[in-house]
Amino acid sequence: MMGRFQPFHLGHLDLVKQILSECDEVIIAITSSQFNYLEKDPFTAGERIEMIHQSLKDDGVDLSRCFIVAIENQSNIATWGSYLEASLPKFDKVYSGNDYVSMLLADSGCIVTSPKFLDREKYNASKIRKLMIENKEWNDFVPKAVVNIIEKINGIKRLQTISKSDTKPTEY
């Protein structure tokens, strides 16, 4: 299971449980781990690992069946599948609802399974970040652990400051 998890939300948590109902273990690969303090990627890899770990723990998910790994993006997209195989514990298939990701992985020989998403319109990290920036209600879309971590790191203020900055990078 791959994603930026900016932030980890209830749809992600539901997907972890779906995968664990079908597989012995799940590898949660945090992509774009090198990016942070950006409007699209406000949280560090370490903060995202903590959000995921604590959310799974609080929900009673068997952590011995979960790997949480941070991986950087690669500039050579054509070799991305082999990069994943070299960077992650052994895996049999990848769960992805992203057609581009599915194409890249299928081209490299990976088995790709399209998951059943929990209300993808409602549980959407871009939407959640927008709600945070606008000081609107966002807490109901994420596990309580994520709320606690974002409050602890003053994540709302961080995101609001980043979104107003005229010196922020526009792309990576």
Query: How would you write the pLDDT of the chain (172 residues) with one tens digit per residue?
Result: 999 999 999 999 999 999 999 999 999 999 999 999 999 999 999 999 999 999 999 999 999 999 999 999 888 878 888 888 899 999 989 998 888 888 888 777 788 888 888 887 788 999 999 999 999 999 999 999 999 999 999 999 999 999 998 665 655 5
Collapse the DSSP code of 88 into the 3-class scheme (helix H, G, I; strand E, B; otherwise coil) and give the result: coil
**CA dist., res. 123 & res. 90, Å (int):** 29
Domains defined for the chain, CATH in brackets: 2-164 (3.40.50.620)
pLDDT score at 1: 93
pLDDT score at 101: 82
pLDDT score at 115: 85
The residue type found at 117 is F
Question: Which residue has 């005229």 as its token pair?
Answer: 166
**Cis bond upstream, residue 169 (ω within 30):** no
Q: How far apart are the first and last CA of the chain?
A: 23
pLDDT score at 169: 60
pLDDT score at 167: 66
**CA dist., res. 111 & res. 94, Å (int):** 6
pLDDT score at 171: 54
pLDDT score at 163: 92
Q: Which of 102, 14, 13 is nearest to 52 (CA)?
A: 13
pLDDT score at 109: 77
Question: Which residue has 């932030």 as its token pair?
Answer: 7
pLDDT score at 74: 85
pLDDT score at 110: 81
Give Rg (Cα) of the chain. 16
Contact 57, 63 (CB under 8 A): yes
